[in-house]
Amino acid sequence: MKERLTLAGGRLLLIAVWGVAWEAAAQSGALPRGLIGQPSEFLLDFIELVVDGTFPKAAVITLEAVFIAFVLGAVLALLTALLMTAFPTAERLAAPIIDALNALPRVALIPLFILWFGIGMEQKVASGVSIMYFVLLSYTMAGAKSTDPDHLRLARSLAIPRWRVFVEIIVPSALPAIFAGLRLGMIYTVLGVITAELIAGGKGLGTLVSYYSNTFNPNGVFATLIALVLITTALTAAMSRIERSIAKWHAPIAV
C-alpha cells in the first residue's frame, strides 16, 4: 500500500509540474495561448461542461456506439478465433485475407462506411468494429498458439475429446492474451468511434473536438480530451478488474 501511494503521489506531482510549466508558458506568452490553451482555463471549461450536461450527454452518445462496437467486434473476433483454432486449415486459408484487411487504414474506410450506413450510429459502430475485430483476433490467436505443447500431447495420449481440450486447456491458456486484446481493443474502439464522429459529425465527444478545433478554441479541445482520457481510463480499469476476477482460469485444468 505504501508503494502504491508513493507511485500515485509521484504521478500527481509529475502532472502538477507539467501543468504549472504549461500555465507559465501560456501566461508569459512564451508560447501562443491561442494555440496551446491554458490549463487554468480548460480545467474550468471542463467543469462547466460537465455541470451544464454537455459532456455527459455527448459521452452517452459516444459510449453507446463504443459498447455496441466493442461487443459486436469481440463476439465476431472470438467466433473467428474459435473456428480457426478448431480447424487449422481454415486458418491457413483465411490468414492472408485477414492480414490484408487488417493492413487497410481504418480512417480511409470511414467515408465508405458513411456511404453504406449514413452518418448515424451505424457508421460509428462499423468504424469501431473494424478496429476491435482485428485487435482481439490477433491477440486471441496468439494466445491459443501459446498453449503448452506438453498439455496438448498429454491430452491426445489420454484420448480426451477435442472439445474438452479446447475448453479446459486452450481457452484458459489464451485468457491472458484475450484480456490484453480486450483492453487494447476497448481503447481502439473508442478511437474508431471518435474518428468517425470527427469526420461524420453528430452529437458525441468527437464532434465536440471537431467543433472546438474549427472555432479555434484550444481550451475546449483540451477540456474534451480530458473527458476522453477519464472515460478510457475507467473502461480499461473495468476490464482489468474483470480479468482479475477470473484469473483463476488462467492455469489449464489438469488432464
- For 131-171, the DSSP string reads HHHHHHHHHHHHHHHTS-HHHHHHHHHTT--HHHHIIIIIH
Q: Is residue 43 part of a domain?
A: no
CA 80 to each of CA 44, 47, 177: distance values in angstroms, whole numbers, following the listed order: 46, 43, 15
Contact call for residues 204 and 65 (beta carbons, < 8 A): yes
Strand, helix or coil at 238? Answer: helix
Contact call for residues 191 and 72 (beta carbons, < 8 A): no
Q: Which has more pLDDT, 71 or 119?
A: 71
Q: Is residue 204 part of a domain?
A: yes
Q: Is residue 6 part of a domain?
A: no
Q: How confident is the model at residue 108 (pLDDT cuts 50, 70, 90)?
A: confident
Q: How far apart are CA 146 and CA 142, in angstroms?
A: 6
Residue 101's domain is classified under what CATH number? 1.10.3720.10
Grid cell locating 187: 481503447
Of the candidates 40, 49, 47, the residue with the CA atom closest to the CA atom of residue 212: 49
Strand, helix or coil at 105? Answer: coil
Q: How far apart are CA 245 and CA 230, in angstroms?
A: 23
Count up the domains in the chain and report the number. Answer: 1
Q: Is residue 18 part of a domain?
A: no
Q: How far apart are CA 100 and CA 44, in angstroms?
A: 46
pLDDT in tens, 17-55: 988 998 888 888 877 877 888 888 899 999 999 999 899
pLDDT in tens, 169-188: 777 777 788 888 888 889 99
Q: What is the pLDDT of residue 162?
A: 66
CA 103 to each of CA 19, 106, 139: distance values in angstroms, whole numbers, following the listed order: 38, 9, 16
Q: Is residue 178 part of a domain?
A: yes
Average pLDDT over residues 177-200: 89
Of the candidates 194, 208, 191, the residue with the CA atom closest to the CA atom of residue 52: 208
pLDDT at 250 over 60: no
- Total residues found in the chain within this entry: 255
Q: Is residue 206 part of a domain?
A: yes
Q: Is residue 20 part of a domain?
A: no
Q: Domain range holding 223?
A: 53-249
> Is the overall model pTM greater than 0.85, yes or no?
no
Q: Is residue 12 part of a domain?
A: no
Q: What is the pLDDT of residue 252?
A: 45
Average pLDDT over residues 228-245: 85
pLDDT in tens, 109-140: 888 888 888 888 899 999 999 999 999 998 88
Q: What is the pLDDT of residue 248?
A: 57
